[in-house]
Structure 1
């Protein structure tokens, strides 16, 4: 039994490492695809403003400066959104059970499928383990939505004598 638990913990640890790497790749993609593009545009706008200033076209420089201000504001908003997303945990202050209920509702609405979170109890586990349970649930539900052609997916979470039991069941 101890050996089985160690295997589960190792698998969970590997899953968490994979999730962290995936998040890093998403962040890198966002920085490259979105924020870097706005910063590149800022550079071009500043260069155009400089050329027009040398040419003495004050009205064009004013328009360029307005564009620079807009691009700067857009970049600022994008960075703030990224920071907000990085600080946000799906578990939040409401707990794992409520996060799973909310996820089930959102996925059911998004995909037009009956995703039900029933028999959920709040479990007393460290936050990283709760997050991992949430991520495993999310992956299992999305796999069922994508591959099982399920009309109903059920999520349940309960405490057992030796830990917790997460169950994802579908009719597909």
Structure 2
């Protein structure tokens, strides 16, 4: 089935109409993976009626914290038992100082893995239609969608009734 990448624009105060346009696209059988919303203002998914996007950053952060905790436990308890050195009647692993080292290494693992997780999420490819229009920098909300050619005209007329500005395919700049 042949599809066209189309773009519609709404002014920044037409958020409700943009949400209705996404619902209209859903009624025409266009799935969420075939719709991309671009704007200069970060709108939440709830405002536009989109499904919540999930990332792997929390799982990566927890894994990094666990890794840091394990390294801290090894440094606190394994190393002093491998290389025994008694100092002034102190235990081999004093608990108060072990708590500090454990906390610091756990947080270090959490921070490093969170940074790497966000970096990896940014570099991973996004799927769906891609394009840009200069009016988006002026505050417009752009909705890109893959539309089947047989439903192209009907969909465009219905979106124009909502107040959308239909952008010609030749005006959409491809990244």
Smaller-chain TM-score bracket: 0.3 to 0.5
Structure of greater relative contact order (alpha carbons < 8 Å, 6+ residues apart): 2
TM-score by length of 2: 0.33
TM-score by length of 1: 0.34
